[in-house]
Structure 1
Amino acid sequence: MAAAAAAANGVSFVSSNAYLESGQVKETRALISNLCRQFYTLGWISGTGGSITAKVHEDSIPKSQQLIVMSPSGVTKERMAAEDVYVLSSSGTVLSSPSRRPYPRKPPKCTDRTPLFMKAYQMRDAGAVIHSHGRESSLITMIHPSSKQFRAAGYRYLFDAAIKLHQLGLDWSCPSDGPVHNVKGMWGGGRNINGAVKAVLTDNDVVEPSRKCILLDIEGTTTPISFVTDVLFPYARDNVRNHLIATYNSEETRDDIKLLRAQVEDDLEQGVVGSVPIPPADGGKEAVIASLVANVEAMIKADRKIPALKQLQGHIWRTGFQNKELQGVFFEDVPEALEKWHAMGIKVYIYSSGSREAQRLIFGNTVYGDLRKYLCGFFDTMIGNKKETRSYFEISQSVGVDRPSEILFLTDVVQEAVAAKSAGLEVMISIRPGNGPLPENHGFKTIKSFSEI
């Protein structure tokens, strides 16, 4: 809401403390540093060569205004840390620079390729840009310089395999009609005049099932809506004061309060209803906590999707789950279906507007035991808004499928279904007790139980 109000008033929100100090920025900085270390280990980038940059996603910020996190130039990638990373505005202005590291490490500097990266963000609507100095990836671009892309879903060895195929005179590109199912003999099936191997599928061949992944919404799909609205939200609201009192001096809560302060300062500037000033720390613990509680209660009542609230709620819920005061609730058919899909080799992922920590808590603490053993991963709105097609495209690129149609998405929200379908996913709408009515002629297949899948 603060971002929307700022945009309406012509105020830039992207350089505000609430955004710069948000958990999303911190997580993205940590992600960039981790990727630099992993890419170095994999040989995708050299010691000081190559760059990785990504946008900081936040639902309340228009994509064109989202901050950009970028690795520095000249810093050894295997030693990269989150504090070594730059934060830039959407126009390329440096908003936060890394601190100078002790000698003999070189001082950090923003890469000379920043203008090129900014063009990718502005002209191609990119969410991330990776500049690699890896040998195999560089050779791939030389084999077929006229190609617009080389697609490899998650496996470095595919770069090397493509080079070897080219050396053998075989077609190294990704088949446009799907994977090769069977080739007769070493060179069976025949070779065409271009040297490409033709695939031959006989009656004895087993065709792999087209559905390889299932992507699940939580609220209204695996879990009653009432669990979120009548259990989780009230628990956070009723326990915020006790939580702040009990953890006031902890580093985690100090960080939560810092983020809330920044958010409330922006809210007060924008005239957000329910916002009240937070006294300085020397104003007394009780006064600070009282103002924090008032602001948090107003945020929860308005159902605001902002990092400061999500972060604090997650920490309060964690305490509730640890103390056995909270337990994840699921429809009866869900645990059995998860176990069945897991046994079939179908990968199951969660995509929810709640944080990944909250998702893990819900699935990890249930009357059925820990259901996380059946899941392959968790996505939240860091990947994108659930009503935007781009988000589902990004997920399809992350789960290692050849085609988006190999993913089945289950949700109770028609707008999410439309976005997922536009990205090429198979979609079904979940009809559960307590869910809202669906519009007529929505055009999607519906299910009342996972046993129907």
Structure 2
Amino acid sequence: MAASGVKTPVTSQAYLEGSQVNQTKSLISELCRLFYNLGWVSGTGGSITAKVHDDSVPKSNQIIIMSPSGVQKERMVEEDMYVLSSSGDILFSPLPKPYPHKPPKCSDCAPLFMKAYDKRNAGAVIHSHGMESCLVTMMDPLAKEFRITHMEMIKGIQGHGYYDELVVPIIENTAHERELTESLAKAIEAYPKTTAVLVRNHGVYIWGDSWISAKTQYNALQYNASLQSIIFQAECYHYLFQAAIKLHQLGLDWSTPSHGPIRSSQALRCVVLDIEGTTTPISFVTDVLFPYARDNVRRHLEETYDTGATQEDIELLRSQVQEDLQHGVVDAVPIPYDEDGRHHVIAALVYIYSSGSRLAQRLLFGYSNFGDLRKYLSGFFDTTVGNKKETKSYVEISESLGVHKPSEILFITDIFQEAVAAKAAGLEVVISVRPGNGPLPENHGFKTIKSFSEI
């Protein structure tokens, strides 16, 4: 007996045979037939599960009803359903049916369903083989995510609005359903906002707080009079997958706010990469370069101060300081020309370090963790062409590269203001999203990537 004096569902045979359990069984069998008619499940493919809603039982302890494997969805009845405990143990199995029916077997999706229950406290989970959920993963065979934005039906997805970007992870298919369990679990953990996971060339798993919300998050604008609690559902995932497929067929980009023509990679002649936050984590400068300079620059200057190369660098530094003074830069300190200047430079340079010069870029890529990467690069630009947040700088780069038009250049950066300036100059622009990067404004309108493989 529980503390309240009510026997828990798992230990009560009367509860397992009661109206709440039977109603949930009946509902799932009815939904299976509905999903078959909608094309979400076909024959024995696909499945659905839901918890038995009971206000007297904590959601995490509610028992689970699950459709069987190997039974035609359009002929499924409540007697075919399995009953599981909240931990996944089978409490009730359906009785065998005479030949040609196969022996009863719980859904092959059971371990995957349990991951959604355990990691998201779901109330219901749907596994669909709908054609659109399969095709949408084939449009880009290398994509690890499905992304779409600025579509009205996104508002039907939990935690999303019209201006948001909906991101659904894509995992690779396996020969057997149960082998997807680990990759599904990793996707759920890696994408805390998602309520779905696509399986390439296979289908989609969708979960929600209840069978209504799970169903609502799958297709758009369906009506079923036999389900009195559903009058008009915005079943959005199906709609959005289908919309992306149609936009793709029209040559339009579903992942950008404007849904304009898909940019062909063949039209690009150049790619311009930012360093901090794009090719290299922002933390690399503060955690690696700054400490290295602090520990070594004094010794280097003491050894080379009188050489021509170092004196040229100091003159450049003096010119920079003089320019800063003319523009009223706070804390800019003149560098003397006498012996005091020697000590001034050696002390001051501990705090003045530019990672943006062309020389610094060559050193960075010449001594990377993967060896000398300079052979993969054609040239270097630094702020001598202009401020990175000014449009004219990107015009200068375009002219220097000799392209026919600026749109032949793809610029990748993590800084929104730089992206705006480059876009104004006519360049194609993508924003890099890496751990440690600064936040982007809402509705920024640029495509984002987490890996160069997404270009």
TM-score bucket (shorter structure): 0.3 to 0.5
Structure of greater relative contact order (alpha carbons < 8 Å, 6+ residues apart): 1
TM-score (norm 1): 0.39
Q: Higher Cα Rg: structure 1 or 2?
A: 2
TM-score, normalised via structure 2 length: 0.38
